[in-house]
Structures are given as C-alpha cells and as structure tokens.
Amino acid sequence: MVKIYLDNSATTKIDKKVFKAMVPYLKEDFGNPSSLHYFGDTAYKATIKARNQVADFLKCNILEVFFTSSATVSNNLAIFGVVRSAQKKGIKKPHIITTNIEHPAILEPIRYLEKNNEIEATYLAVNKEGIIKVEDVEKNLKENTVLVSVMLANNEIGTIQPIAEIATVLGRRPERSEGSRYPLFHTDAVQGANYLNCNVEELGVDLLTLSGHKIYGPKGIGILYIKKGVDIEPIIFGGHQEKGLWPGTENTALVAGIGQAMEGIRNQESGIKSGERVRKLRDKLMNGILQNIPKTFLNGSVENRLPNNANISFEGVEGESILMALNEKGVAVSTGSACASGSLSASYVLMALGIGIERAHSSIRFTLGKYNTEKEIDYVLKIMPEIIKKLRKISPLK
C-alpha cells in the first residue's frame, strides 16, 4: 500500500537519533530529576544536556531556556505571563499587538483577555501574500503596549514575517532606551525552526516559542525562550521546576528528545541543507500542479515562504473532497491547520488574504519533510490531474 506523508506542518516523524536519545529515560534511567540520589542525578544531567542543546541552537544562555508541555503552553505562558507581570507593575489595561493570521494558541488567549476586559488588542492585517507591514507595528504602538507577538512563519501558508525588522522598530522606542523592557517582543517560531535562522539575538526577540513534534522530535514538549531580565508571572502553581514558571516533574525522555532534535537541526546548519533539498521537491510538486492542472492558485508569498510549504487552491472543488480522494490513494495532506480540522468554516488565514470564501474552501496544504522522496512527488503529480478532473464534474462549487 502506498503511504505518502505530506502533512509535516501538522506533525513530523520522530528521527531515529531522537528516539534513541529518549529510550534510556523510558527504561532504566527513570528517576525524578529533582531527586538527590543516583537515579535523579542521571535524569537531571539529561535535562541539563538538553537545555544546552537548545541554547546552542538559539544562541542564548542556558538559563534562558524553559521547558513546557507544548508550544501552545509556551504561547499561553508568554502572553498571560507578560500581561500578569505588567498588571502587577501597575499597568491597568495592557495593550498587545499581534496579527490576524497567528496560530489559535496566540489568538485565543489574547481574545480571552480582551473579552474579560483585561487588555486592549490590535490585530494587524496582512497583505495578499500574508505579510504585515513593519510600519503598521510602529503606527499602533501605545504607551501601554506591553507585548508584540508576530509569528516567524505561518502554519497554513508558510509566509515568513520580517521579525528582525520589527525588532529594530521596537528597539527605537524611547521607553526601552530609558530602561523599561516594554514593549516585549515574542515570536512563535514553531513552523520556522527547521529552516530559518532562530538566533534570538539576530532576530531581536525577548520571547520565542518552539515545539518538539514539528522538528522530528516527540509530542508533548515545548520550549519558551525568555531573555534574561524579562519578567513574566507564572500561570500555574505547585512546584519549583523551570524556576516556578512551569512547575511539575520534568518528563526526562521528552526533554532529551527535543534536545536531540535541536542538535539535529544545528548539525545541518540550521536546516539549510535539508531546506534546499525539500525546496527542490516542493517546487517540483508546486510547479507541476500549477502548470498542469488548470485553474489552480498558490496561496501566500512565492518568495517569502517556508521551503516545505505549498498551499494551493483548486477552483471548483472542495478541499475536503480532495483530501479524502488523496487519502484513498495513500497520500496524507491537510486542508489547513490541523488544530482547526474539525471546523467547517473557511480558514481565517486564507480569508485574511482576501481570496474569497470559495477559493479558501478549495485549498490544500502540502507540507514536505526530510523523509519525502522525488518518487513520492512523481506519484502525487501523476494522480492529481485525474482526481481534480473527476471531482470538478461532481463538485457543488463548480
């Protein structure tokens, strides 16, 4: 049976080296890292090794690396933590700037705080390619702006945002030059970590989120980078772990796994080698579809997008029908974000591009990874024209 996985933005296969690094802490080295005996010390040393691996990848201090249970948790901790700290400092109604195409793990916490009248929020619009204007960030800054959160790369359309340029604008703020840390700058780098520069100093961010299962590591583990001197409040309580910001006994196996996953990316020059290979396969797939199947459209930027992402609309066909037809042929794709796959509404990310509801409903997200082969791409290109031709005959969108 054919089994081709082209949904790597949803999750990735665990790398063999990552799995190998995890196994000891699922078996004989099972101790609690907080325990003082041999078993605990062995587990503790594993967490220190992983923290160093992450710090080496981000080019930061080991004390600036915090482990959580997912990227969603890291995003929530960044948002709630900054807001609670600002309120504690006397800012009664903090202001947050974000974009209208962020992951739900950013948008929903902000909307929750906004709904409860705890904050003000500004949602910056993107252009037709899915990119915000740096000047829009500057225009919307207020005296009470405590946080700007802009994702490094979008999970649906692969658009890359000008993070370093935004950081330059924020660095010119009088409040920061006078000693205040506000506004803080956060980026959700979950989708970009495999392929983009995540050097936190070069990006100019105060907070950065990563996920294990998007980089050939395990699920259930996330990272929040917190720049030294940045003050955030915890959102759960009950332990000393992670300096009290995310208390609870560390899952040593998962921590070791994400550390090894980071090592894997760093060893391939921040994903450059992998990215070049994946880009060639992606371009073959993308160009093959756009050139050989009529009435198909690429969603998002041609140039400023992740090398593994191709989000394509097929006029006159529902995306879900294409997904099901491909699945029957052994090919796994997505109609958008896996986090929103239970929703029947059009993708808010695609709608933000101004492409219209019918085109948004007819989109498929192909996301490649390091395990994909040219033979697999050839197979997909072979079956796609006939699938679309058949579906267009029966589709209610025609």
Residues recognised as catalytic? 339
Q: Of how many residues is the chain composed?
A: 398
In angstroms, the CA 289 to CA 119 distance is 45
Cβ of 123: how many Cβ atoms within 10 Å? 17
Cβ of 24: how many Cβ atoms within 10 Å? 16
With b for 16 or more beta-carbon neighbours within 10 A and e for fewer, the 262-282 pattern comes to: bbbbbeeebbeebbeebbebb
Cis amide bond preceding 183, omega within 30 = yes
Q: Which two tokens stand for residue 391?
A: 């579906």
Transcribe 266-325 into DSSP letters: HHTTTTHHHHHHHHHHHHHHHHHHHHHSSSEEE-S-SSSB-TTEEEEEETTS-HHHHHHH
Cβ of 76: how many Cβ atoms within 10 Å? 21
Could you tell me which residues are beta bridge partners of residue 188? 209
In angstroms, the CA 310 to CA 292 distance is 15
Q: Which two tokens stand for residue 96?
A: 């947050």
- What DSSP element (H or E) covers 164? helix 163-171
Count Cα atoms within 13 angstroms, Cβ side, for 213.
12
In angstroms, the CA 211 to CA 229 distance is 23
- What DSSP element (H or E) covers 379? helix 374-394
Q: Which two tokens stand for residue 368?
A: 């490649």
